Structure formats: structure tokens, C-alpha cells
A and B are shown apart, each in its own frame.
Chain A
């Protein structure tokens, strides 16, 4: 199998992941999009490992690392999503805007007083 096929699939996976990250509003879907991007990177690692015929199989080892880290990340991420859902009663991340600069008029008045 030619390397380019693996790279094309990987790029496609990554693009889908980026799209999901930017466009989906459900927090679980966004986490899944992140997984897609990670696995796109994994595919690249494994493909290059095979392509270079690496005796140490560093690419495969790294791919295993990424899988482990991704699992841990999803664990933490889903916990955060649950916490946000309990707090805000929604899992749509474009509606969770607690860190926005919400009241510019008030804060600039406070600056003027100071």
C-alpha cells in the first residue's frame, strides 16, 4: 500500500476532526472530533513507521502512547462535560460563555473611577 493513501486518509480524518471541533456545538461531539484528530496523527505515525521500516518501531510505540493519553484525556474531558452540564443544564459549548467580556460599559466605568 502506498504511503500517500495512508496520508490522504489521515488528512481527511484530521479535516473532519477540525470541522467537528469548530462546527459542532455538543461538547461530547467536540470531544469525539478531538479523538478523530488524534487518531489521524496515529495513522500518520504508524504509516511512516511502516514506510521507513523502522527496526525500533518508534512510530508504533508513539501511537500507543497517544492512545493512552487520549483515553486519559477523554476521561477528564467527559468529567468536565458532566460538570458543565450539571452547572449550566446544557452540553452546547457555544452557549457556555461565562468567561466572555460580558459588560463592557460597567467595567469601563469602574476603570474611569479608579
Chain B
């Protein structure tokens, strides 16, 4: 079955084409190809997973030459190992749930058919990244994802904010993608092939400098796509898109792609310890910074966006300290609980019509299913056992502790602090949204606010179940997820200790309890208000956007304006000047065209005489 892995990206792609071209003529409308294509992709993904897990250590590879014209050889094909098979299932599951959820969430949207086709294309591109056997094939999926994120974030393009957010996401990730492209060049030239199997085969053979350069260049793309510092700025703004898209981008596609590529090319990173150190430092900064920004954010979706940035940093940190299995495991658990949280947020936003938590409150009776599932997602995010997120996060921290050294210690300490902050902001989110009294200005809205239709709540329940079940594989004795994933040689196996688990759980409970106490004291107020003036830099996300605006955006705008003036007044005036000059010269010449035949004849005679005279003079000399 794994020879048919190419069907996974092909089916959603076909669904996207059908949805764009002929969906209006289909019975059932654009939802049929969108849901159907993704569902078929999930079936294929599950079959491939079963096939791959039958022999976990075997790589199922198919490839056919793509450019058989000498020079660089490129191939298209699929390369299925445990990591790819598990990730593909994760992508397909989340994408399918998002498509199902969207049929209700986007009902009545005039551009739903375009939206559904773009989601299918997005899924297809992510699956290309997952199954690709060649670096350039991977790059194609990678870039198509960039395009799809632009289109979907800008879905509400009639609003200024959505347009700006779409451009910001595209440009910011593009900055990193430039490095990614050159990283592929270095890697392919160094290994003599762009085939992933050969690149990861003996990465140290291509020389230390080349490997380090390639790993660092690829890291630029990873940092952009996975929204790590310093290219994290696009993700919170991406909330301008429809909420199911946030679930898709934050859980299954786009941001997961960055971490996935590092995991996929991990032998290259193992050969380049410098790159891993850089990744670890970036992860430490991002992890805590994003969590602190989430602590004071009032927009429900932006809190979740910051938490994605922070959680992705956990994955990066896990990979940076050699905890490959723990990092990938966290990728999977995060996909489940973050998709869950975003879809729950979508349910809340749909019923209230606002993103701001200061206008929510007391929704647990109105939206019971949403409330319960969000609680599960929140607990998984905060790291409360037995939900999946707790074990994967413990795995990352345990790997950091085992690695030791400056980097390991830094990741461990920052990770523990972030556990505390994470629990605090999750608790704040849940309390501000579902508990207390309704604070919105429109009383009627709260009275009318009711639970979402079952098309939307069923995906929530499925994801909540997945969040719980993903905790199960770590139960003794199997560490099943680790066996499925088939970690590369030289990485730390997933290791969990009871003591570590107790410490992180205690920290999480401590953070949550502090917020609960603050909330009990003054239920109507924001628990983050206790931070006072400290909250100002946090609410501005440490002024990173302002700094970028000052040192990048404004100079670039100034240069662009200057160029526009040079182009308009300089280059264009030369072009129009040539035309105007010719016209003016012609206007002078046309005066001779007066219609008097005798005048023409006079000119003829004068010129003939002039020629005769001058020739005579020349002959006479």
C-alpha cells in the first residue's frame, strides 16, 4: 500500500481542482469534493501507516526521475518511514475535521467554494512535504503552503487587517524561505543528490562546514514557517483569517512543516551541532517570550496563537537537545489539542461575534460541549496528566535534563518556567471565556448564544478524544509512539520519569491555582491586571513588531517611495518625452503639407537646383 502513498497529496489536489472548476454543478455543492478528497486521503494515510508499521525500520521509497536531461538529477516520489506515515495521518485527520467543521462555520460565506478548495490545496501541499522523497519536491509543497496561507489568511480581503496580515505572513515566511532554498542547494551539492535518502545517509561525509552551513540555512526557513523568534511576528496577525484556518495552520500544516523538516533531516542536524545549539537558543527565547505575551492578550484567538508559538518552541527545543522522539511526539499531541482549542474558539466566536475575552464570560452553560472539550484541550496544553500534552512536554524536558550542559540546562529551566506561565494563561483563558458573568455589551447576544450545530461539535469531541488517547501510548510498557516513529540513530529515546512528571504537573497546578485565586478575588476583572505596568511590554510582545517597523518596514517603504519617484519622474519622463518630442517635430513638419501643389513643386525645383549647383561645384573642383 505504501507504493500508493502518492495518492495522499494527489486526492486533495484533485478535490481542490474539482472544487474550483465544477463545484457549482455538483449536487451537494463545494463541500462534497472538499470533505470527500480529504477523507479519501485519510483512508490512504491509514492504509500506508498500517503497511509501514508492519516493518517499522524499513523505508518504503518510490521515485521516478523528473528531469532526465543531464546535470542535476531531480526526482519525484514518496519516502515513507514511521515519521512520515504518522505525520500524514495526523495531517489528514486534522484537515478532515477542519473541512467538516467549516461546512457549518463557513455556511453562508459567499466565497466558501474557493475557501474549501484552498484548504484542500493546503492539505495537499502539506502532504507533499510529508511524503516527499526529494528536497525539491519538498520545496514545492513548502512554497505552495506559503501561497495557501496567504490566500486563506486573506480570505476576508475586504478588511484592511486581513490584507495586511496575509502580506505579513507571506513576506515574513519568504524571508526564511530564501535561506531554505539555499540550504537545499548546499545540501544537494554537498551530497551529490537531492534525494532525501542519500542526503541523510552520510551527512558528515560532505564536510563539517558544508553541513553546518546547510543546517543553518534550512533553519532560517524552519524558523519562518514554524514561527520562531525572530520570524514569529506573522502568526498572531494570521488570526485575521477564518478560525478553522487557524486550526489548520497551527495544528496540521504550515507551522508543523518547519518542525517536521528538522525531524526529517535530523541526521544533517546531528552532524551540525552548531545549528542545534542555535535552534535551542531560539527555542528558549520563543518559548518563554510567547507564553508571556499570551498571558496578557485579550483576543481569544491571539492567546492561542501565542501559545502555538510557545509550544512549537518546545518541539524545537526537544529536537535541539537530541530528544527527537519527544519533539515529534509533542508535534502530534499539540496538533490534537491545538486544533481542538481553535475549533472550540471558533465555536465561541461564531456564537458571540467577537474575539475579545473582555466581552465574553459565563459561556459554560450556553456552550456545554464547547466548554467541556475546550477544558480537555486546555488541560492538555497546560500539561496536566493524563492528557497527551503533559507526557510529550515531560519527554522534552527530560531529554533536556539528560543532555545537560549549558544548552540542556537552559532548555530545562526555561521549559519549567514556561510550564508555569502556560498553565496560568490557559486558566485565564478558560476562566475569562466560560466562567464568571457575561461582560459583553449586547445582552441579547448572550441570551441568544447557543451551542453550535453538531457538524461543529463532533470534530471537537473527536479531537478531545484524540487528546486523551495520545497520552495512552506512553503508558508502560510500550512507549508505543516511539516505536512507530522509528527514531534516527544517535537520538535520545523518549524517557519519562515519575519525579519529572510530578514536578511539571505541580508547576502547572501552581500556575493555574494562582490565576484561580486572582479570579475568585475579583471575578469581573482580568487576572492579568495584577501584573500592572509589567503587562505593557508583554501586551506589545516585547516591541518586536515596533522594532521591525522602525528598522525594516519604514526604510523599505522609504526606498520604495524614492524608487517610485525616480521611476515616475525620471525613467517615465524619458519615455514619454521621446513620444512628445516626436509629436512636436511632426507638428512642425506637417505645416509643409498645405495642399498647394505649386508649393510642393517649388520645393522640388529648389532642391534639384541645389543638387545641380553643388554637383557642378564639386565637378569644377
On A, residues with C-beta under 8 Å from B are 18, 21-23, 25, 30, 93-94, 96-102, 104, 108, 111
Pairwise interchain contact A101-B602, C-beta atoms closer than 8 A = no
Q: Which of B198-206, B237-245, B541-549, B592-600 participates in binding chain A?
A: B592-600
Pairwise interchain contact A97-B602, C-beta atoms closer than 8 A = no
Known: A94-B598, A101-B590, A111-B583. 4 other contacts (CB 8 A): A18-B605, A96-B595, A97-B595, A99-B593
Q: List chain A residues, Cβ under 8 A from B594.
A: 97, 100-101
Pairwise interchain contact A104-B595, C-beta atoms closer than 8 A = no
Among the interface residues B583, B596, B602, which one has the most CB atoms of the partner chain A within 10 A?
Answer: B596
Bound form: Cα–Cα A94–B602 in Å:
13
One of B595, B602, B605 near A99 (C-beta < 8 A): B595
Q: List chain A residues, Cβ under 8 A from B597.
A: 93-94, 96
* Size category, B interface: 10 to 19
On B, residues with C-beta under 8 Å from A are 583, 587, 590-591, 593-598, 601-602, 605
Bound form: Cα–Cα A49–B602 in Å:
32
Bound form: Cα–Cα A94–B598 in Å:
7
Q: What's the minimum C-beta distance from A4 to chain B, rounded to whole angstroms?
A: 18
Bound form: Cα–Cα A104–B591 in Å:
9
One of B595, B598, B601 near A100 (C-beta < 8 A): B595
Bound form: Cα–Cα A103–B602 in Å:
24
Q: Given A100-B593, A101-B590, A101-B593, is A21 in contact with B598 using a C-beta cutoff of 8 Å? A: yes
Pairwise interchain contact A94-B596, C-beta atoms closer than 8 A = yes
Query: When A and B form their complex, which 3 residue pairs have the shortest distance between CB atoms, in order from nearest?
Result: A100-B595, A97-B595, A101-B593
Chosen A-B contacts, 6 in total, with CB atoms closer than 8 Å, are A21-B598, A93-B597, A93-B598, A94-B596, A101-B595, A108-B583
Q: Which residue of A lies closest to B587 (CB)?
A: A104
Bound form: Cα–Cα A23–B583 in Å:
33
Q: List chain B residues, Cβ under 8 A from A93.
A: 596-598
Bound form: Cα–Cα A93–B583 in Å:
30
Q: Which residue of B lies closest to A97 (CB)?
A: B595
One of A22, A25, A102, A111 near B595 (C-beta < 8 A): A102
Bound form: Cα–Cα A59–B223 in Å:
99
Q: What's the minimum C-beta distance from B509 to chain A, rounded to whole angstroms?
A: 78
Pairwise interchain contact B596-A97, C-beta atoms closer than 8 A = yes
Q: Which residue of A lies closest to B589 (CB)?
A: A101
Bound form: Cα–Cα A22–B596 in Å:
10
Pairwise interchain contact B605-A22, C-beta atoms closer than 8 A = yes
Pairwise interchain contact A108-B601, C-beta atoms closer than 8 A = no
One of B583, B587, B590, B598 near A22 (C-beta < 8 A): B598
Q: What's the minimum C-beta distance from A15 to chain B, rounded to whole angstroms?
A: 11
Among the interface residues B587, B590, B597, which one has the most CB atoms of the partner chain A within 10 A?
Answer: B597
Among the interface residues A21, A23, A111, which one has the most CB atoms of the partner chain B within 10 A?
Answer: A21
One of A21, A25, A30, A104 near B590 (C-beta < 8 A): A104
Q: List chain A residues, Cβ under 8 A from B593.
A: 99-101
Q: List chain B residues, Cβ under 8 A from A30.
A: 598
Pairwise interchain contact A98-B587, C-beta atoms closer than 8 A = no
Q: Which residue of A lies closest to B594 (CB)?
A: A100
Bound form: Cα–Cα A101–B590 in Å:
7
Q: Which residue of A lies closest to B605 (CB)?
A: A18
Q: Which residue of A lies closest to B602 (CB)?
A: A22
Q: What's the minimum C-beta distance from B588 to chain A, rounded to whole angstroms?
A: 11
Q: List chain A residues, Cβ under 8 A from B591.
A: 101
Q: Which residue of B lies closest to A24 (CB)?
A: B598
Bound form: Cα–Cα A99–B596 in Å:
9
Q: List chain B residues, Cβ under 8 A from A94.
A: 596-598
Q: Given A104-B587, A108-B583, A111-B583, is A98 in contact with B605 using a C-beta cutoff of 8 Å? A: no
Bound form: Cα–Cα A20–B597 in Å:
13
Q: Which residue of A lies closest to B599 (CB)?
A: A94
Q: List chain B residues, Cβ under 8 A from A97.
A: 594-596
Q: What's the minimum C-beta distance from B149 to chain A, rounded to whole angstroms?
A: 44
Bound form: Cα–Cα A40–B583 in Å:
44
Q: Which residue of B lies closest to A111 (CB)?
A: B583
Among the interface residues B591, B595, B602, which one has the most CB atoms of the partner chain A within 10 A?
Answer: B595
Bound form: Cα–Cα A93–B595 in Å:
10
Q: What's the minimum C-beta distance from B594 to chain A, rounded to whole angstroms?
A: 5
Q: Which residue of A lies closest to B596 (CB)?
A: A94
Q: List chain A residues, Cβ under 8 A from B602.
A: 22
Q: What's the minimum C-beta distance from A14 to chain B, rounded to whole angstroms?
A: 11
Q: List chain B residues, Cβ under 8 A from A21.
A: 598, 601
Q: What's the minimum C-beta distance from B549 to chain A, rounded to whole angstroms?
A: 44
Q: List chain A residues, Cβ under 8 A from B601.
A: 21-22
Bound form: Cα–Cα A36–B401 in Å:
120
Q: What's the minimum C-beta distance from B587 to chain A, rounded to whole angstroms?
A: 7
Bound form: Cα–Cα A108–B597 in Å:
24
Q: List chain A residues, Cβ under 8 A from B595.
A: 96-102
Q: Which residue of B lies closest to A95 (CB)?
A: B596
Q: What's the minimum C-beta distance from A66 to chain B, rounded to whole angstroms?
A: 20
Bound form: Cα–Cα A99–B595 in Å:
5
Bound form: Cα–Cα A25–B601 in Å:
13
Q: Which residue of B lies closest to A102 (CB)?
A: B595
Q: List chain A residues, Cβ under 8 A from B598.
A: 21-23, 25, 30, 93-94
Bound form: Cα–Cα A23–B601 in Å:
10
Q: List chain B residues, Cβ under 8 A from A108.
A: 583, 587
Q: What's the minimum C-beta distance from B76 to chain A, rounded to whole angstroms?
A: 50
Bound form: Cα–Cα A30–B597 in Å:
11
Bound form: Cα–Cα A94–B593 in Å:
13
Q: What's the minimum C-beta distance from A44 to chain B, rounded to whole angstroms?
A: 16
Q: List chain A residues, Cβ under 8 A from B587.
A: 104, 108
Q: What's the minimum C-beta distance from B202 to chain A, rounded to whole angstroms?
A: 67
Bound form: Cα–Cα A50–B386 in Å:
132
Bound form: Cα–Cα A94–B595 in Å:
8
Q: What's the minimum C-beta distance from A25 to chain B, rounded to whole angstroms?
A: 8
Q: List chain B residues, Cβ under 8 A from A22.
A: 598, 601-602, 605
Bound form: Cα–Cα A22–B601 in Å:
7
Bound form: Cα–Cα A94–B590 in Å:
18
Bound form: Cα–Cα A100–B587 in Å:
14
Bound form: Cα–Cα A98–B583 in Å:
23
Q: List chain A residues, Cβ under 8 A from B596.
A: 93-94, 97, 100
Bound form: Cα–Cα A22–B590 in Å:
21
Q: List chain A residues, Cβ under 8 A from B583.
A: 108, 111
Bound form: Cα–Cα A23–B590 in Å:
23
Bound form: Cα–Cα A31–B587 in Å:
33
